Amino acid sequence: MSAHALDQEPDDLAMAARAALVREIDRSGAWDADPVWREAFKAVPRHLFVPYYYVGAVGGFERVWGEDPDPRARERWLRGAYADAPLATRVRDGELLSSSSQPSLMAKMLTELEVEDGDAVLEIGAGTGYNAALLAHRLGDAYVTTVDLDPEITESARRHLAIAGYRPTVVTGDGARGVPERAPFDRIIATCTLTSVPRAWLPQCNPGARILAPLATGLITLRVRDGEYAQGRFLHTPAYFVPLRGDTRPEPEEPHLGGLPPRARSHELFRFLLTLTAGSLDPYEAYALWEREEQPVRERYGITVDGERVWAWLDDPEGPYTWPLP
């Protein structure tokens, strides 16, 4: 670390670090389809949303915070706040409960949300409030609602947003139930992993609304036809998020894969198929399908919601390869 860096004003350091992050996202191509998001990431100060975070250390986590009396530690915190990396923001008994997502992945998801001026957006999973701030910068406070089950998370998100100068609606509640009092929505984006598509969301959407959510280590995009029907495909992008809180279904047990070839057991796309079909398809049947279909990429998979029925599929929602979701 240079003496020059230590002598810089914190605001100058933050601005320089934010500019470097924007350049890194530029190189990733995350917002090529909608470069207006570049201005949002350039304007919204991420460090105000992560006054502290945790990094991996021997035996657990180390807390890094912006009020550390050591100026070198404060600079480490500031530079880490603008790294293109996820940041653990809430840990309990060694378990990660909440995080600030990798900025380039956030940029990709916001671009894929395909928002337009005047769109009302519901975010499931308030986190630090940073994603809601990016949305509010693009659309305006009145068009953004964010919800989280944990009142401590919503309170801190609301505080971070106010400090940064944004005031979208922050709701404490079960994201799986949506926020009907703020409906209808034109876009729903989830920043937590789902096991299925909550059917309560669809009646809260305008016809033609777009839903984007992490599911089975991927990102599903759905187009809503009406309050009973939505359909769409996965993006090619892998995605790993903490689970949606309030989902009381038990985590599926890790399948026994000892009889499968090592390349399949460790292959990211095969693990995606296993997660997507958990409880519906035996791992050895999944492997046979995966080989027969020449290791299909994520974009060949999709999800359909039709009334009470929700199912995943390969290539065709009415084809031979379909699996019910919870």
Cα(75)–Cα(9) distance, integer angstroms: 10
Please confirm, yes or no, whether 280 is among the known catalytic residues: no
Query: Which of 159, 210, 217 lies closest to 189 in space, CA to CA?
Result: 210
Beta bridge partners of 55: 62
The secondary structure of 89-133 as a DSSP string is EEEETTEEEEEEPPHHHHHHHHHHTT--TT--EEEE--TTSHHHH
Within 10 A of 135 (CB to CB), how many other CB atoms are there?
29
Q: Which two tokens stand for residue 73?
A: 């530690």
CA separation (Å) from 84 to 100, 107, 115, 296? 11, 11, 23, 29
In the block, tokens 């998979």 appear at 301
Give the active site residue among 28, 98, 104, 280: 98
Query: Which of 217, 232, 214 lies closest to 123 in space, CA to CA?
Result: 214
Query: Which of 196, 225, 193, 222 lies closest to 210 in space, CA to CA?
Result: 222
Strand order of the sheet with strand 322-324? 169-172, 144-148, 121-124, 185-190, 205-215, 218-226, 229-233, 301-306, 309-314, 322-324
Please give the positions annotated as active site: 98
